[in-house]
Amino acid sequence: MTDEAWENGLREVMTGAAGSTRVAPPPTDAILRGGRSSLRLRNGLTGSGVLGMVAAAVIVGTSFGGGATVGSVQQAGTTSTSAQPPQAQDAAVTLGPASAKTKVVVYEDYRCPPCRDVEAGTSAYLTEEADSGKIQVEYRAVNLIDRNGQTSGSGSTAAGNAVQCAADRGDFSAYRSAVYAHQPQENLDAFTSSALLITIARTIPGLDTAAFEKCVDDQPYAAAISSNYTRAFTTAHCTGVPCISVDGQQWTGSIPEGADVGKIINAWLAQKISAA
């Protein structure tokens, strides 16, 4: 599939012309080509073909069934109206027991191509370790790319909010992976479309409900995602995303283009986890 054909498919979803048709995954070369160069500029990285990642601090969430925790939605005022929907105090999803000896935190932006690479390479390992009770891993969405002067937009916030909506309904991992699998080129900001985010949800049985669609449209987690940005770049001193830490110790390595991202980061994670 060409870049142009895929972009046309996105536009059909955004305008409603595509109905409930599933959007095909984007051309990988377009994502890596367009995304890494702009990420290097945002993070102040230099040198061709190097992906830089740093890390963050550890936070906690609110109890949620099925081994995950999510940020709970709190009503902003005494009444709830469609003009002023409830706002969430937090936007975080935590996998694994609170009693786990090791805490892992991941700050990510769903418009960020290197974040997609890291998700693909590390999620299975982190989920396995969390399920075993060895670690607790926390995921926090940020809106870094929305704030970037070259890209701007609102897709990072919209996608992060939609993933939290899915987490509220027990489909965090499946929907998070699906959002990354349908990640548009950075400059398209296609995730600003509720229609696209809802279309992606239809790939996951049972997720696309009226309640989910309302959550996607109302964006109750938008303010909390902005707070995650402040937490990441002010409190945790991240310099970019993805931003990963193990017990507060940050990943500050670099990965040459073409290297196995998952293999390199998982080796670092395993070393830190075993040493805890």
Query: What are the structural domains of the chain?
Result: 29-74+86-275 (3.40.30.10)
Could you read off the pLDDT of 34-55 as tens digits, one per residue?
Answer: 233 233 323 322 222 334 432 2
Could you read off the pLDDT of 154-180 as tens digits, one per residue?
Answer: 999 999 999 999 999 999 999 999 999
Q: Among candidates 175, 176, 160, which has minimal Cα distance to 225?
A: 160
The answer to whether the predicted template modeling score (pTM) of the entire model surpasses 0.75 is no
Strand ranges (DSSP E) for 150-237? none
Query: Which residues have a Cβ under 8 Å from the Cβ of 81 and sit 6 or more positions away?
Result: none
